Structures are given as C-alpha cells and as structure tokens.
Structure 1
C-alpha cells in the first residue's frame, strides 16, 4: 500500500508538472524568438529612416556599421538593383517587399526580416536582415534545463512527502493487522492503539471492543459450562451410592468404575471450561496404554450385548500430541457410535498403529450397516444422538495436528481413522 500511494502521488505530480511546464517551455521559446526578432528590427530602424534621403555611400557605411554592431547581416536593395551592405542574393521575400510590404518570414536556418522603404524618387527600397536559429533560441536550452531540474525536484519532494504520509497511514494498519493475528492465535488480551486518521482510530476502537466482547462471551460460556458440569456432581454422587449398595460385588465394581469415568469426564469439562485461552498446548501421552484401558472398559458392555471385540496394538510406546483425557474422550466417542448405530451382536475392531513421521493411527471398524452420512455433521443425527461424538473426535485429532477420516470397513461397516500427530514437546 505504501508503494502504491507513492506511485499515485508521483504520477499525479508528473502529470501536473507536464501540464504546467510544457506550455511554459514553449512560451519561453516563443519569447526568445520575439526578443531576437524585436532586437534585429530595432537595429534596422536607423537605416530605414536614412534610406529615403541618404546617398548610396552613406547607406553602405550605415549598413556595415549596423551589421558589425549586431553581428547580423544587413543588406539594402535599392530600386535600381544596387545592393549595399552584406552581399546577399535577392530572395522571394525581398521581391515581395519591393512591392511595398514589410514582414518577417521563416527562412532556411533562421528568420528573414524585410522592410519596404517608400518615398524614394526611383521607387521602393528594401532593407533586409537575417536572424539565425542560434540567436532565436539563445538561452532557451538553459531555461528548459532549469525547468526540468525544478520539475524533478518537485517530484522528489512529492515522493518524500507521500512516503511520510503513507508510512504514517500504513503503520497503524500494520498494527491493526498484528493485533488481529494475535486475536486469531487466541491472545485475547491483545489490544490496538488508536492512532492515525480518524477512520483508522475508529477501526482500532471497534477491534478493541470486539476483543473485549469475545472475552466476555468466552468467560460467560466457560462459567455456564462449569456450572452445568458442577450440577452433574450431585446425581453422580447419588449414582455412586446406589452402585455401592448393590448386592453383586462385580456389578457394583463395574458401575462404580463407570461413575468414576463419568466423574473424570465432568472434571475434565470443568477444567477445560475454566482454562485460560492462552495456555500452552496439552502435553502428550502414551497412546497404547490409554487405548488398552478404554477398550477394556467398553469390553464389559460389549460382552453384555454379544459383540466380539478385537484389539490390535502396535508394539512399543506410541507417544501422541494429545492428553490422555482427550484421547480417551475421542476413543469413547468413536466406540459410543458403534454401540449407538449398530445392532447388538455386531463385532468391531480397534487398531492402533505407528504413523510414519511420528504419532499414531487409531482405527475403529465395525461389521454393521455403516455410519449415516449426516452423522458426520456436527449436531445432526438420525440415530437418536446429539451428533457431537464425531466432532469431539475430530477436534481432538486436529488439536494434535491430525485429522479424522470416515471410510467403509472391509466388511461393509463404518471405519473411522483418527490420525494423531506426535507430541510438540517430547
């Protein structure tokens, strides 16, 4: 923008200077020509007055003196054909002046001035002088150079002023851009300093107001989520007491484990809701241990519903750029979709493999009818759920630098692959 403003000012200045200096240069040339012609005509006036009465010898002497003083040829053509002064052949202009007409004509290399002198007994005499082009344009070149230098100086001054103005205009715009980028990086404390023209100050104030409003909305959202999550603790406590009162120890332990997992999820929601927006990325975790733990948890429900579970874990540790709670929530969302969208007895497979370049590939494939297409869209589902499960998994993958892919499994069911990136701070 700064260069464009400078180019605009330069183009405008040049156009104005051309419109002003070109006519002025032509006027200077015309003035120089008129000055040279006027000076030559004035030198001839003394001879013109003497031509009517002086004898030829006196006229010859006068013509030679004027020619010597002015440096220009002066010739007198008498009616009898005599030529006095500087020898010059009779030109068409002289022939025309002999008829009683005085004028100035453009000749080869200069201007020819002829003056008809009437009143002599023998007819009309003609006084002629010639002004060369060098005399007609004397001082014009220097004047043009001065004008060109003046124009160049004005253009440079215009560029200097335009650059200063553009810099004062662009600097606030750059600061606004930097603040907007910081806000995009979740630095909600970034604020712009209102500087520059009134319009830019107004934009800076609007951007600061927007940033403050975003902070307020996020604060309200965090508080609402935290309050909602906190309210869940009461029914969770009641559910735990009910589980502990069961007669069958295995049922009590299974339900208590489920309540513990739900309570951990609620605690994670509260922690996430109250977390500052500029906190560093979550630490990584060892994916194999988390996947094994969650598959074991879901295996109990799978056994109750007659589902065969296959777990394929790659050997060795598989660190990923995702916290254990987030990875567990993502896997729970994927397995929850299997139980929600496939009939009882449908087998499924969980595979965890190493990813080239670091990270891991987590795949959940089932033998069911396939996942509905609208289940991929957040908040929409024809399966009786909220439609947020896959979005949770997708956001978890994206936070680690990966993504979520939905394809068909080899048996015709749904296959969900979670690509997880490596830890950013191993």
Structure 2
C-alpha cells in the first residue's frame, strides 16, 4: 500500500508579543544594572577616600597630642583602635598581623572582616591605627541589594507594560492570521493600520489575489479537460460495448473489447478525480452509512476490476455506521481498497474497525520513511513507481469531510492506511470477525 501520514504542524515558538516585552525588559534591566554598577563603584571609591581621610586625620591628631595628653590621643569611635610601640621596644598587646605592617595605609583582611590600617613613625615611637569598616561594607551591601531589587522590580513592570503595549501590534497580526485562515472575503488592509502591519496586509492581499486567479485558471482547465474528454470517451465505450455484444465474436476480441470498456471507465474516473481536486470539495447530503455492507459492495467492485487471488478479511460489526456523504465515503474506500489491492499480489487484505478508526492493511512490502512523507502528494514518484491521484484524492475528501487519514507500516508487515471518522461514528465496535474470500 502506498500511503502516508498527514504532515504535523510545526510547533509554535514563543509569541512575538512576549518576545518584544521580554527584550524591552531585558534592555531596561541591563541599563539599570550598568548604571547601578557605575554608581556603586563611584560610591565605593568615595567611601574608601572618606575612610582614608578619617584614618589620616585621626592618626595625625593622635601623634600630635600624645606627648601632651596620651588619654586624649585615643579615637572616640569604638570601630578604631590605636596602638603605640616605643622606639626599640617590643610590641605589647598588638595583634601580629598589625605589628608587621610597614608605615603607610593598608587594607587588611582577617577572615571575612576588613580593616583599614594607618601606620606612622616619628623619632620616639611607632603608631598603628586600625579601623573596622564593617559598617561601611554593610551600607554598601544594603545599597547593592536595594539597587538590584529595584532593577528587577522595574524590569518586571517594564515586562508587564511592554506585554500590554505589544498586544496592540500582535492583535493586528492575529486578526490578519484569522482572516487568512478563515478565508474571510474582502481586503485585509484597513485604515489606521501601522505602516509595517499595513505593508504585510497589502502583501497578503496581493498574494490572495494571485492565488485566486491561479486557482480559477486551474479549475477552469480541469473542468474543460474533463468535459472535453467525456464526449469521445463515451463514444469509445459505446463502440466497445457494441463490439463485445456481437455474436460469434472471437474470445480474444471480446476480451479486448471488455478491456477497452474498463480502460475508458478508468479514464472517466481519473477525469472526475481531477475535477474534484480542482474544486473545493464539500460534502453533499449527509446520511447514515452502514459500514459493513458498504465496504463489501466496494470491495466486490474493486476486486472485479482487478481480479487477484487475495483474501479479504472484514472485521466490522453489522451495526457499525457513520454519518457522512455516501458519495465521499464510496470514493475514499474505493481508492483505499484499490491501493491495497495494487500492492497485494497474494495473502490477505484486512479491513478492521477499532473505535472510530477504520484501517486497511495490505500484504505488500510496505513503504519507506521518505514515501510516508510524500505519498499523499499528487503524482508522487516513489521507489515502486508513480502513485497517481488516488491517495491525494483520499486526503482531499477526508479533509473536507472532517476525517483524518494516516498511514504507517503495519507491525505484522505490509502497509496500513487508517481513516479516523472521529465523533461521526454512529454505532458499533469490534464485536465479531468474519471473512469474505475471493
């Protein structure tokens, strides 16, 4: 069987509306973070300069007043400690990490704590002033936290605002998509559209116009071709029938006349298929179709036109039926069964109803993955030749009827074509299994 699954739609990515809002929010967040980093860097420098100024002023004051009043030389803040080491005396009660520092200003880390240290010397002693800058660091950390929090909050507000504002643009695009999808007549371009959206709408209008003209030409050609073919084909068929009915006709001539009639019928069917494919297929009168007798009748007709020693197994209950166009159902099943018979020279063809799905499995070689993707196309040329219009017509009619057609390689071998009637199944399920052998 040559058959294929319908191509699945591409998965949708994130909406343009969300992308615009996210890009705007990301840009705002980036700008705020850059400004915040610059601000924090500048503030940190000012804090460092302020701390160094305090250290320099305090140690200069302490060295100046030490000779007059040592008690007044010590700093008044608990975050500073002053140590004095007399000339030639060992450091007493001075932390080792401070006693080893050379004259100048230093930044010293003890664990997670940071100290700024000023070391000075005069002719009589060495002075060490240590400053615990934890309060400054805490203020800086708090500023960074508040800045980042404000940046994130502003970015979220920008995301929300951008999403709402972008909705105006995307709403126009969604409206255009709906009009194209539903084939709403009239021009897509409307007054008041944004320039970019108006350009897209105008391009779609031009495309729809060109497509309509092209389809109209194709339909007219197919209709004219079908009409022009019917007259000579009817004459050929009539002459072939008259020839076959002559008395005392040689058997070989009779077979040829019968073959001419069958060939003419096949050409007529092909012309009808072309005409149906050229037109927009619409179901006619909807009626309840009993599946089993309808399938039996179609199979007998198909097998009579192409006789083969193939066993037909029908697993459809007597009461099962669908609601649909009988003409469309006949056309679909006739092409499906004819396709199965074409690739089954022996063995079995199994027609099985499972829920709302009617499957036809042949005993042929199956098909390749490449064939599965394209075999529903008109005149697809696969490894086993050209498939013609049969399965293209099946898909065309199934789509018009609200049915779904798919195909695969059957687990037990052969190709399997499945028609899912969906909620249109009127009654029944697999309750028995019977065979019609030919």
Match of 1:420 in 2: 419
Whether 1:324 aligns to 2:321 is no
Whether 1:77 aligns to 2:67 is yes
Q: Deviations over 1:122-167 (max 9, x none)?
A: xx999xx999969x99999779867865665455445534553465
2:356 to 355, 358, 380: 358
Kindly indicate whether the alpha-carbon contact (under 8 Å) linking 2:223 and 2:275 is maintained by their aligned counterparts in 1: yes
SS of the residue corresponding to residue 275 of structure 1 reads: coil
Output the TM-score relative to the length of structure 1.
0.53
- Higher-Rg member (1/2): 1
Kindly indicate whether the alpha-carbon contact (under 8 Å) linking 1:230 and 1:270 is maintained by their aligned counterparts in 2: no
**1:364/1:236 CA distance change after superposition, 3 Å:** farther
Match of 2:301 in 1: 297
Match of 1:60 in 2: none
**1:162/1:406 CA distance change after superposition, 3 Å:** closer
Match of 2:95 in 1: none
Structure 2 segments unaligned to the other structure (5+ residues):
1-18, 75-81, 89-102, 109-114, 247-253, 427-438
Match of 1:401 in 2: 404
Q: How does 1:93-172 map to 2 (within 5 A)?
A: 149=146, 152-153=149-150, 156-161=153-158, 163-165=160-162, 168-169=165-166, 172=169
Match of 1:234 in 2: 231
SS of the residue corresponding to residue 418 of structure 2 reads: strand
**1:386/1:143 CA distance change after superposition, 3 Å:** closer
Match of 2:433 in 1: none
Shift of 1:24: 1.9
**1:254/1:214 CA distance change after superposition, 3 Å:** same
Kindly indicate whether the alpha-carbon contact (under 8 Å) linking 1:319 and 1:359 is maintained by their aligned counterparts in 2: no
Shift of 1:316: 0.9
Kindly indicate whether the alpha-carbon contact (under 8 Å) linking 1:318 and 1:359 is maintained by their aligned counterparts in 2: no
Kindly indicate whether the alpha-carbon contact (under 8 Å) linking 1:361 and 1:419 is maintained by their aligned counterparts in 2: yes
- Alpha-carbon RMSD across the aligned residues, in angstroms, is 6.3
Q: Deviations over 1:274-293 (max 9, x none)?
A: 327xx689967433333233
Shift of 1:269: 5.2
Q: How does 1:191-210 map to 2 (within 5 A)?
A: none
Kindly indicate whether the alpha-carbon contact (under 8 Å) linking 2:409 and 2:416 is maintained by their aligned counterparts in 1: yes
Output the TM-score relative to the length of structure 2.
0.52
Match of 1:275 in 2: 280
Kindly indicate whether the alpha-carbon contact (under 8 Å) linking 1:75 and 1:84 is maintained by their aligned counterparts in 2: yes
Shift of 1:357: 1.6
Kindly indicate whether the alpha-carbon contact (under 8 Å) linking 2:28 and 2:158 is maintained by their aligned counterparts in 1: no
Separation of aligned partners in 1, 2:152 and 2:308: 87
Match of 1:26 in 2: 45
SS of the residue corresponding to residue 419 of structure 1 reads: strand
